[in-house]
């Protein structure tokens, strides 16, 4: 099929590449000329495992190309996916100006029937607004359908999530676009649920909020575990064996972050408020998340006492493993809090150091994770990178002035760390 994707951020780029990989003809559009030039020259603007193979392979095969002109995408495709950012506004609501602008651009470029699919995360009822806008700005009364098709991609695992989706959600106003949407997704062999547009839009916010709630739930339990001597991972294992609960997203941590959960929670709370419902449950999810960071900082202060002029090594800057994304990263927030107390930081991340440099200053960036501990008073794990499990612990222990390790991601075994002589403080264990 002929498809276009407007917006080449994490979602748009991965979606475009995967659609091309299964045989569709894909045009990726972005208004950022520099980014498009980079992509046209074979460069990849983000770190997302798998893209480095997918993009060149599909460009070479003639199934994937990049342009700055929305009109090119619209003319050359039957189905147009909108994947532009929907950033938060200061009051927690969603800035829909990019969506509105793209809807106008699509409208003015349409000359034949098109299916316009919203993939960006949007408040319920946005599809209705997009349809109104296209109708208002469209020329010649060209027919079109608006579809909601939320994405469920995790950064760092986005290619895998798109190629093998748990489900595909399609929200429509009429049956007309359903066959084409089935054809788009047929190669992925995933269960598809077809709903009205408002339900599809809600499924996205409801899913992300539920996952965030799961994390805050286990983080709240971690407090109880610490107070009672229980082990939060054992509790999660026991709970997770109940198929109704499931083990995933029950990793206690120093809190969740990223460009999705924090923003989507605020947006969902705001959407509920606008329709007259006080979503206190989700406000508590946010509160627990903020508290989890403060508790972790307190744990460090309780052990090291005064942080001023203490040297602390921090492993991890990305908001989670397998990504270079530092937006709303708990690891960056932790660094800032430690800096505010006067600590001097040596930091490392396998992928995110370049992006971190723009937001985190006055720290020493260390290229090798095994050199971070040199001359430090303590070491902190802030991101759940698999690579950190292979840290040379004996070398770290000898490099630290005192063998103290704070683990905000529960990467190591408590008994083993104690056997190695560490003062080891993790979450809920
Ligand atoms: C999340 C959802 O998982 C995706 O399904 C969704 O499509 C995406 O948002 C989106 O809306 O675009 P993402 O933000 O990439 O994906 O990352 P997650 O893997 O969900 O992790 C979010 C945060 O929660 C990270 O900071 C992670 O470290 C933390 N986390 C995750 C925990 O602290 N504990 C867990 O058990 C799981």
Rounded Cα gap, residues 259 and 123, in angstroms: 16
Clarify whether residues 163 and 240 are in a common domain.
Answer: no
> What's the token pair of residue 123?
């408040």
405, with CB counted inside 10 A (0-12, 13-18, 19+), is: buried
**Does 67 map to a domain?**
yes
Report, as an integer, the average pLDDT of 268-290. 97
Q: Is 386 found in the same domain as 259?
A: yes
282 plus 392 within the same structural domain: yes
Structural domain tally of the chain? 2
Mean pLDDT to the nearest integer, 119-141 = 94
Same domain, 162 and 79: yes
Strands laid side by side in the 344-348 sheet: 364-365, 344-348, 311-315, 378-381, 404-407, 423-425
Residue 241's CATH number: 3.40.50.720
Q: Which domain holds residue 106?
A: 2-190
- Binding site membership of 317 for ligand 1 (Cβ less than 6 Å): no
In a domain? residue 108? yes
Atom of ligand 1 nearest to the CA of 323: 15
Q: Is residue 199 part of a domain?
A: no
CA distances (Å), origin 63, targets 1, 156, 350:
10, 24, 32
Is any atom of ligand 1 closer than 6 Å to the C-beta of 48?
no
Percent of the chain whose predicted confidence (pLDDT) is above 70? 100
Which residue in 28, 225, 260, 335 is the catalytic one? 260
Q: Ligand 1: which atom is nearest the Cα of residue 121?
A: 11
150 lines ligand 1 (CB under 6 A): no
In a domain, 202, yes or no: no
Question: Given a cut of 90, is residue 56 above it in pLDDT?
Answer: yes
| Exposed/middle/buried for residue 337 (C-beta within 10 Å: 0-12, 13-18, 19+) | middle
The predicted structure's pLDDT at residue 425: 98
pLDDT tens-digit map of 287-313:
999 999 999 999 999 999 999 999 999
pLDDT reading at 140 higher than 80: no
Residues 247 and 342 in one domain: yes
Residue 325 near ligand 1, beta carbon < 6 Å: no
% the chain with pLDDT above 90: 99
Which of the four pLDDT bands, split at 50, 70 and 90, describes residue 141?
A: confident
Query: How do residues 175-200 score in pLDDT, each as one tens digit?
Result: 999 999 999 999 999 999 999 999 99
Block residue for tokens 């006080």: 278
Residue 327 Cα distances to 26, 45, 116, 139, 256, angstroms: 28, 15, 29, 39, 11
For residue 57, the model assigns a pLDDT of 96
Task: Say if residue 372's pLDDT is above 90.
Answer: yes
Ligand 1 contact, 261 CB (< 6 A) = yes
Tell me: do 173 and 227 sit in the same domain: no
Region 231-258: what's the mean pLDDT?
98
The pLDDT of residue 139 is above 90: no
- From the CA of 409, give the closest atom in ligand 1: 33
Per-residue pLDDT tens over the stretch 44-54: 999 999 999 99
Ligand 1 site, residue 256, Cβ cutoff 6 A = yes
Where would I find the H helices in 245-329? 261-274, 280-304
Q: State the average pLDDT over residues 62-78.
A: 97
Task: Give the residue among 381, 313, 323, 311 at the shortest CA–CA distance from 353.
Answer: 323
Atom 11 (ligand 1): residue with closest C-alpha? Answer: 260
pLDDT of the residue at 306: 97
Same structural domain for residues 8 and 103? Answer: yes
Atom from ligand 1 closest to the CA of residue 329: 26
Q: Is the CB of 211 under 6 A from ligand 1?
A: yes
In a domain, 197, yes or no: no
Is the same domain home to 24 and 135?
yes
Query: What is the whole-number distance in angstroms between the Cα of residue 320 and the centre of ligand 1?
Result: 8
Residue 154 Cα to ligand 1 midpoint, Å, equals: 6
One domain for residues 224 and 138: no
Question: Is 18 a known active-site residue?
Answer: no
Please identify, by atom number, the ligand 1 atom nearest to the C-alpha of residue 321.
28
Q: Which of the listed residues 162, 190, 218 is the one where a domain comes to its end?
A: 190
User: Pick from 190, 218, 234: which residue ends a domain?
Assistant: 190
- Answer yes or no: is 205 within a domain: no
pTM, rounded to two decimals: 0.96
Whether the Cβ atoms of residue 94 and residue 123 lie closer than 8 Å to each other: yes
Stretch 55-61: mean pLDDT:
96
Q: How far is the CA of 13 from the centre of ligand 1 (A)?
A: 19
Residue pair 330/261 in contact by the 8 Å Cβ criterion: no
Atom 34 of ligand 1, residue of closest alpha carbon: 251
Calculate mean pLDDT across residues 31-58: 95
For ligand 1, atom 7: residue with the closest CA: 152
Asked which of 156, 190, 224 is the last residue of a domain, the reply is 190
The answer to whether residues 406 and 264 belong to one domain is yes
Q: Verify that 145 and 62 share a domain, yes or no.
A: yes
What is residue 2's DSSP assignment? E
Does the beta carbon of 208 lie inside 6 Å of ligand 1? yes
Angle between helices 197-228 and 280-304 (to 10 degrees): 30
Task: Choose which residue among 150, 288, 320, 388 to substitute to test ligand 1 binding: the one with the highest number of ligand atoms within 8 A of its C-beta.
Answer: 320
Residue 161 falls within a domain, yes or no? yes
Indicate whether residue 288 lines ligand 1 (CB < 6 A). Answer: no
Do residue 251 and residue 158 come from a single domain? Answer: no
């Amino acid at each position: 099929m002929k498809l276009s994707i407007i917006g080449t951020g994490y979602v748009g780029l991965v979606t475009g590449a995967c659609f091309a990989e299964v045989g569709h003809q894909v045009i990726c559009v972005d208004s950022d000329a520099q980014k498009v030039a980079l992509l046209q020259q074979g460069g990849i603007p983000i770190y997302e495992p798998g893209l480095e193979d997918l993009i060149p392979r599909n460009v070479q095969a003639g199934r994937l190309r990049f342009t700055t002109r929305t009109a090119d995408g619209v003319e050359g495709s039957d189905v147009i996916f909108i994947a532009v950012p929907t950033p938060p506004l200061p009051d927690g609501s969603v800035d829909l100006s990019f969506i509105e602008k793209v809807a106008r651009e699509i409208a003015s470029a349409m000359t034949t029937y098109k299916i316009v699919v919203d993939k960006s995360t949007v408040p319920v009822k946005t599809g209705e607004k997009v349809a109104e806008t296209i109708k208002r700005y469209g020329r010649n009364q060209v027919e079109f359908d608006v579809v909601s098709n939320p994405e469920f991609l995790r950064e760092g695992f986005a290619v895998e999530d798109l190629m093998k989706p748990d489900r595909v959600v399609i929200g429509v106003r009429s049956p007309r676009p359903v066959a084409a949407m089935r054809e788009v997704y047929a190669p992925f062999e995933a269960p598809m649920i077809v709903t009205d547009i408002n339900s599809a839009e809600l499924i996205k916010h409801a899913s992300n909020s539920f996952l965030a709630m799961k994390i805050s739930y286990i983080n709240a339990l971690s407090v109880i575990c610490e107070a009672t001597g229980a082990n939060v991972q054992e509790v999660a294992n026991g709970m997770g064996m109940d198929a109704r609960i499931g083990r995933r997203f029950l990793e206690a941590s120093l809190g969740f972050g990223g460009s999705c959960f924090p923003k989507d929670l605020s947006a969902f709370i705001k959407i509920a408020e606008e329709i007259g419902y006080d979503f206190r449950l989700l406000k508590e999810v946010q509160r627990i998340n903020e508290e989890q960071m403060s508790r972790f900082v307190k744990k460090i202060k309780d052990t090291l006492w005064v942080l001023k002029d203490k040297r602390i090594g921090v492993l991890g800057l990305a908001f989670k493993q397998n990504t270079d994304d530092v937006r709303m990263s708990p690891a960056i927030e932790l660094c800032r809090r430690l800096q505010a107390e006067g600590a001097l930081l040596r930091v490392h991340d396998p992928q995110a150091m370049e992006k971190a440099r723009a937001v985190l200053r006055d720290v020493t960036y260390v290229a090798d994770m095994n050199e971070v501990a040199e001359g430090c008073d303590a070491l902190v794990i802030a991101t759940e990178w698999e690579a950190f499990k292979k840290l040379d612990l004996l070398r770290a222990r000898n490099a630290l002035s005192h063998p103290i390790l704070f683990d905000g991601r529960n990467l190591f075994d408590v008994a083993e760390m104690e056997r190695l002589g560490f003062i080891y403080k993790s979450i809920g264990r």
